[in-house]
Amino acid sequence: MGRSQAIGRGRDPRFGPEADDAGCTILHVDMDAFFAAVEVRRRPELRGRPVVVGGAGPRGVVSSASYEARRYGVRSAMPGMRARALCPHAIFLPPDFSAYSAASDAVMRIFRDVTPLVEPLSLDEAFLDVAGAQRLLGRPAAIAAAIRRRVFEEQRLTCSVGVAPSKFVAKLGSTRAKPDGMMVVPAGQVLDFLHPLPVGALWGVGEKAAAQLHRLGLTTVGDLARAPVSMLRGALGEASAAHLHELSWGRDPRRVIAEHEEKSIGAELTYDTDVTDPAMIRRSMLALAEKVGARLRASGNVGRTVSIKIRVADFRTVNRSRTLPTTTDVAREIFEISWALFQVLRPAEPIRLVGIRVEGLAAAATASRQPTLGEPERGWREAEAAADAVAARFGRSIVGPASLLGRSDLRRAENHPHSTVVPLSDPATPS
């Protein structure tokens, strides 16, 4: 959708919790500063302080920022160095996606206790259709309030909720309600809510499109709604003009779709400085394979295709993949295939980013696997499952390949940190 910064915050009594919510059966629930909030939850001493999740190095990127940091202008997707300049006393923390995923699972379970019609958009937000839940749980605004209360009481996290007749308006409502608020947009007042907003609030209006619309004198959603569609076509093209015209009148017929089939699971690492050392790249790929394998097992999936992504210093990106005769969720196998793909590729230029992804997913419970000739009856799969159990109890940093021991440089992956340490052998080490 449009940039969230373009949507003003604030409490308008016309759209408060007591507003008429008849027909407003779509909820958009958005966790507040989710990654940062999860970090503060486990480090209470950071409460009230500016916390930034992401890298502070020359290529670091902000994944999340607490509202204390946002007051200094720090925003998600901002370069870490820029965030550091804006808020020199901010506390930078590396992302821990396993913790965020666990928190997300717990929150999504609360949503599904209310209705089976839950459509996650990411770890920290989802659409809910509560039409069928009203008979048992009350009106939509009451359901939204109950969700917010449960999320806080059970997870010690806050969320903001938009309650509206459509997905588009509900998402705008949750953004306006932030942080830790709720906004109801009555069906009869959608245009009163929508038309004063800047055009950048509309789905599909980025900076370039907003600039084009401003040149036409269209600064608000209402301006765009009243403009001839032919004018919009000339500036934006046929498809975008029709799309934005419909949204500007609050028309969004999309339903909440509960089933979302994950197509791939992966992880990436962007180096602070370009890398030419094959040993460093190898360790990075080992750490990424460990992360991908753990994510596959946690999701209950296995995959058949392993792919790697390599970005060199001039930003050219190359992808290579191999499809296996059988599925896998074993980090050792994922690493060995990934490393073989890299050795064939061997780019001469310094490397900026490496990534590993497993595609062609299937549920592990239904997928069959043919053991390879000479493979022991119990081996790496069992070892990694045991490591998962240890990590679930003590944290992912407690267990991992020995060759990653002490590699703090690998922990600083911008958006995909990985753990280090100990009892598993390096795949290159005979066992």
Do the domain assignments include residue 191? no
Contacts of 42 (CB under 8 A, 6+ apart): 99
Residues 123 and 207 both lie in one domain: no
Residues 25 and 139 both lie in one domain: yes
Do the domain assignments include residue 259? no
Residues 301 and 230 both lie in one domain: no
Do the domain assignments include residue 176? yes
Task: Tell me which residue of 256, 270, 374, 356 sits closest to 312, measured CA to CA.
Answer: 270
CATH at 204: 1.10.150
Residues 214 and 157 both lie in one domain: no
Q: Which of 125, 290, 384, 414 is catalytic?
A: 125
Do the domain assignments include residue 3? no
Do the domain assignments include residue 192? no
Residues 70 and 93 both lie in one domain: yes
Do the domain assignments include residue 109? yes
The response to whether 124 counts as a known ligand-binding position is yes
pLDDT score, position 383: 61
pLDDT score, position 217: 93
Residues 61 and 169 both lie in one domain: yes
Residues 211 and 145 both lie in one domain: no
- pTM (two decimals): 0.65
The response to whether 30 counts as a known ligand-binding position is yes
Residues 293 and 221 both lie in one domain: no
Do the domain assignments include residue 223? yes
Q: Which two tokens stand for residue 47?
A: 């409460």
Residues 124 and 236 both lie in one domain: no
Task: Tell me which residue of 412, 415, 378, 10 sits closest to 173, measured CA to CA.
Answer: 10
CA of residue 410 relative to chain centroid, distance: 21
Residues 240 and 158 both lie in one domain: no
pLDDT score, position 316: 83
238 in catalytic set: no
CATH at 172: 3.30.70.270
Instruction: Tell me how far apart the alpha carbons of residues 142 and 129 are, in angstroms, rounded to a whole number.
Output: 14
Q: Which domain holds residue 57?
A: 11-184
| Tally of CA atoms within 13 A in the half-sphere of 383 that contains its CB | 20
Instruction: Tell me how far apart the alpha carbons of residues 197 and 201 are, in angstroms, rounded to a whole number.
Output: 7
Provide the number of structural domains found in the chain.
3
User: Which parts of the chain have pLDDT scores under 70?
Assistant: 1-11, 259-262, 366-431
Residues 283 and 335 both lie in one domain: yes
Residues 279 and 155 both lie in one domain: no
pLDDT digits (tens, 9 = 90+) for 355-373: 999 998 888 876 555 554 4
